[in-house]
Amino acid sequence: MKRKILTIVVLFIIAVVFLCSAGADQQFRDYHPLEAKLVMIGPGAKAIAPLKQGTKVEELLSKAWKDFDRCHWSQAKDAFLSALDADPRNQLAGEGLAISVYRSGDYKGAFKLANDLKASIPSVQELVSEIVVAEVQSMIRAGDFAAASEFLKNFPSSDSGYGRAHELLGGAHELSKQLKAEGMGYPVIR
């Protein structure tokens, strides 16, 4: 159940991120959300505890998600931090904070935060690593190995979650070299 809720939250966040990244003065870019084969749902998972209405944490989270939806990353981070101060084990606050840090462009900060919260809220690290993998997959599909390589400098290959992204890039780059050597070029998957 926990994974199912996490999956729904991740997909919602990715949809919001896509909408926020497509401002009027920005060009659209291909964004590929997490692929279904990467989502694992299993029995025995714990559900996120429901919040009591009218609590301080609920109010802070409500404000944080509104700021998040508006792509106001700084305000969202502050509100998520306040919610974590009030409830240090709140999964929604931890995940929202990590994604806000990530979406603000502070990839190293998102990685560090995920590591810092690993003991109290392990789902944060899983979420950040899955988003990193999806981002790398998108860059690989576009054939942008240089951007993917630069992006992955923020995440160590020694960490298993981010190691998957490094392996994907390495494998795709090697395949691309082999295809070029055979005169076939690299097919861009859309």
Sign, CA dihedral 39-40-41-45, equals: negative
Take residue 150 and report the two structure tokens written for it. Answer: 């630069």
pLDDT value of residue 156: 84
Closest CA to 47 of 92, 15, 94, 87: 92
Decide if pLDDT at 124 tops 50: yes
For residue 14, give Cα distances in angstroms to 89, 99, 132.
23, 10, 12
Take residue 77 and report the two structure tokens written for it. Answer: 């981070």
pLDDT value of residue 145: 82
Q: Alpha helices, DSSP H only, in 1-159?
A: 2-21, 56-69, 73-86, 91-103, 107-116, 123-141, 145-152
Question: How far apart are the C-alpha atoms of 63 and 68, rounded to whole Å?
Answer: 9
Q: What average pLDDT does this structure show over 95-116?
A: 94
33-89 pLDDT, tens digit each: 443 333 344 444 444 444 555 588 999 999 999 999 999 999 999 999 999 999 999
10-27 pLDDT, tens digit each: 666 776 555 555 544 444
Question: How far apart are the C-alpha atoms of 99 and 121, rounded to whole Å?
Answer: 14
pLDDT value of residue 19: 56
Question: How far apart are the C-alpha atoms of 10 and 77, rounded to whole Å?
Answer: 17
pLDDT value of residue 120: 92
